Structure 1
Amino acid sequence: MTALLATFFFCAGIAHAQERTSDQRGSFGVPLQPFSLHETTDAWPRTEPIRVAYYAPRSQPALAPRAESVEDEDDLETTNAFPEISSNRPAVAGDHAILRNGIAYAPSHAPDNIKNAIWAVNTLRRKPYVWGGGHGSFNDTGYDCSGAVSFALHYAGLLEAPLPSGDFRHYGRRGRGRWITIYSRNGHTFAIIAGLRLDTTDLRDGGDVGPRWYAGGRDTSGFDARHPAGW
C-alpha cells in the first residue's frame, strides 16, 4: 500500500511540472521572451554616413581665339562668299570678283566675255615684266602694262590689236564702266575689271613685276578713265 501511494505522488509531481512548463511556452511550444513597447534601439549600433573623396578639376579660363596671319593683303577676299571652283575657270557668286592666292575668281553675274577676260589673265600671273611685251603678239613670254591690258580686252572680245598706253587715253568712252575701267596716262596703263586691279606695278616696292591681280586700288591722279562702250 505504501509503495502504491509513493508511485501515485511521484506521477502527480511529474504532471504538475509539465503543466508549469507548458504555461511558459506559446501556442507553438516556443519559450516566450519578455519585451516592452517602450524599448529603444539604442542598443543597436547607429549607421554612420559614408564619406567618399573624389577629385574635382579646377575650371580653366576660356582661351581667346588665335588670329591667323595673312601673308599677302592683296590675297584677301573682297566678299565672304565661298568660291566655287570649276577646273581652270574659278567663279564666285555675285557681281564682284575676288582674289585668292593670286588667282581671280570671276563673278557669276558678269557677262561671259568679262569672265573670259578674267580667266585669261589668270594664265599671266607668273609672266615677268617685259617692256614692249604683248605688243608683237597677244601670246608672249612677258608683258608690259599696256600689253597686259590689251591681252585682257582681246580675250573679252573688245580689242583686235594691242595698243600702247598713249592710245588707251582715247579708247572707248570717257569715264568708268560697269565691268571694265581703263586708267591710262603717258607711260602707264592699268585696268579695273569686276572690282580687281590688273596692273604690272607692285605698289609695295614700286617695281614692275609683270601682270598681276590686286584687290586694292591705287591713286588715279593724272590718269584718264576710259571704258569699252556698253561695258
Structure 2
Amino acid sequence: MYFQFLGFPSASHKIDRAAIAKTLQRGAQAASCPIVPHPISFRSNPRRRGQAALCCLLVLFTFVTTSSDAQEQKPRRRHAEEAIVALQPFSLDEPAPVRLAYYAPRAVPRAEPVAHDNDETDSVPKIDNNAAHPVISGRRDVLRNGIAYAPSNAPATVKSAIWATNSLRRKPYVWGGGHGSFNDNGYDCSGTVSFALYHAGLLGAPLPSNDFLRYGERGRGKWITIYARPGHTFAIIAGLRLDTTDLRYGTDIGPRWHTDFRDTRGFDARHPMGL
C-alpha cells in the first residue's frame, strides 16, 4: 500500500508494458517542448496530494536539522579559535654552546700600614694607680671598685674633692651626718656634698639642702654642678654622680660615686664660681 500511495505499482499488479512505453514517449515529447506552468489539481488525484505533503515534511525536516547543526558549529569554531596559540618562532640552526659562569679567585691586596703623626696608644687613657691620688688621662673621671679616678686635665681643686670623697665610700647614711663636723661616722646627702666642696677649698662650713639653692652661680658648671631642692642634694663632679641614693640596686645607701645619672626635674642647678 505504501508503494501504491507514492505512485509505484505493487508486486500484485501486472506490469503493462504498453502503458509504460506510452508514458515514456509522452515524457520525451514534453522534454522537447517548452514547459508551460499550469496549476496542479490535487483534488482529483489523492496520490499526488500525499506525495506533495511528504516532500514538504522532508524539506522542513532538512531545514530544521541544518539550522541546528549551524548553531552548534558556531561555538565550536569560537572555542577552536580561542584555543589556537601562536607558535613561537624557532630556528633550525645549530644550538649555541652553553656558557657556564664560574668563580675565579682574585688576588686581594693587603692593607698597608698608614702613617700617623701620633701613635694610637696615645688615645688610650693612662691610669696612675696611686692609692691616695688615682689619676686617669682626659677630662672625665672613671669609677673602678667604688674609687673615682680624677681626670688629669681637671683643676687641682676638683682633683682634691674627688680624692677626699673616695674616703667616704664605706660610710653609712646618717640623717644630719656631716653637719656638726666634716669628719663624722656617717653622712647625709647635703653633708656629703659639703664634704667634697670643703676639701676643694670652696666651702667653709656644711650647708643643708635648702641653702644650696643659693650657693654659687645659677646653672651647670664646667667641672662641678650641684643639684638642690628642699630635702635633697647631689652633685656631678667631672662626670660622676656623688649621691646618697642608689638608683640601680636600692641597697647601697650612703655617700657613693655612681656612673648613672638621675632625673633633675624639680632640682635647681648651681655651680661654684669659675668651675
Give the structure-2-normalised TM-score. Answer: 0.54
Q: Which amino acid aligns with 2:129?
A: I
**8 Å CA contact retained: 1:129, 1:208:** no
**Cα distance between partner residues in 1 of 2:248 and 2:139:** 28
Q: Which amino acid aligns with 2:137?
A: A
TM-align CA RMSD: 1.4
Q: Alpha-carbon deviation of 1:147?
A: 0.1
Tell me the SS of whatever aligns to 1:218. Answer: coil
Give the structure-1-normalised TM-score. Answer: 0.64
Kindly indicate whether structure 1 or structure 2 has the higher relative contact order, using CA contacts under 8 Å at least 6 residues apart. Answer: 1
Q: Alpha-carbon deviation of 1:208?
A: 6.9
Q: Alpha-carbon deviation of 1:102?
A: 0.5
Aligned residue in 2 for 1:100: 144
Tell me the SS of whatever aligns to 1:126. Answer: coil
Gap change, CA 1:221 and 1:206, over 3 Å in 2: farther
Q: Does 1:164 align with 2:208?
A: yes
Q: Alpha-carbon deviation of 1:145?
A: 0.1
Gap change, CA 1:143 and 1:105, over 3 Å in 2: same
Tell me the SS of whatever aligns to 1:209. Answer: coil
Q: Alpha-carbon deviation of 1:215?
A: 1.0
**Cα distance between partner residues in 2 of 1:117 and 1:138:** 13
Aligned residue in 1 for 2:265: 221
Q: Does 1:153 align with 2:197?
A: yes
Aligned residue in 2 for 1:113: 157
Indicate which of 127, 142, 155 corresponds to 2:171: 127
Aligned residue in 2 for 1:20: none
**8 Å CA contact retained: 1:199, 1:212:** yes
CA offset digits 1:10-32 (Å, max 9, x no partner):
xxxxxxxxxxxxxxxxxxxxxxx
**Cα distance between partner residues in 2 of 1:173 and 1:206:** 32
Unaligned runs of at least 5 residues, structure 2: 1-122
Gap change, CA 1:207 and 1:175, over 3 Å in 2: farther
Q: Does 1:191 align with 2:235?
A: yes
Q: Does 1:143 align with 2:187?
A: yes
**8 Å CA contact retained: 1:177, 1:228:** yes
**Cα distance between partner residues in 2 of 1:86 and 1:208:** 26
Indicate which of 131, 134, 138 corresponds to 1:87: 131
Q: Alpha-carbon deviation of 1:227?
A: 0.2
Q: Alpha-carbon deviation of 1:211?
A: 0.2
Gap change, CA 1:192 and 1:160, over 3 Å in 2: same
Give the % identical residues: 69
Q: Alpha-carbon deviation of 1:174?
A: 0.2
Unaligned runs of at least 5 residues, structure 1: 1-78
**Cα distance between partner residues in 2 of 1:194 and 1:169:** 21
* Aligned residue pairs, count: 153
Indicate which of 188, 213, 220 corresponds to 1:176: 220
Q: Which has the larger radius of gyration?
A: 2
Q: Alpha-carbon deviation of 1:101?
A: 0.6
Q: Does 1:209 align with 2:209?
A: no
**Cα distance between partner residues in 2 of 1:208 and 1:148:** 15
Gap change, CA 1:206 and 1:223, over 3 Å in 2: farther
Q: Alpha-carbon deviation of 1:81?
A: 2.1
Gap change, CA 1:208 and 1:184, over 3 Å in 2: farther
Q: Alpha-carbon deviation of 1:87?
A: 3.3
Q: Alpha-carbon deviation of 1:153?
A: 0.2
Structure 1 residues 36-51: aligned runs within 5 Å: none
**Cα distance between partner residues in 2 of 1:142 and 1:120:** 15
Q: Alpha-carbon deviation of 1:83?
A: 1.9
Higher relative strand content: 1
Higher relative helix content: 2
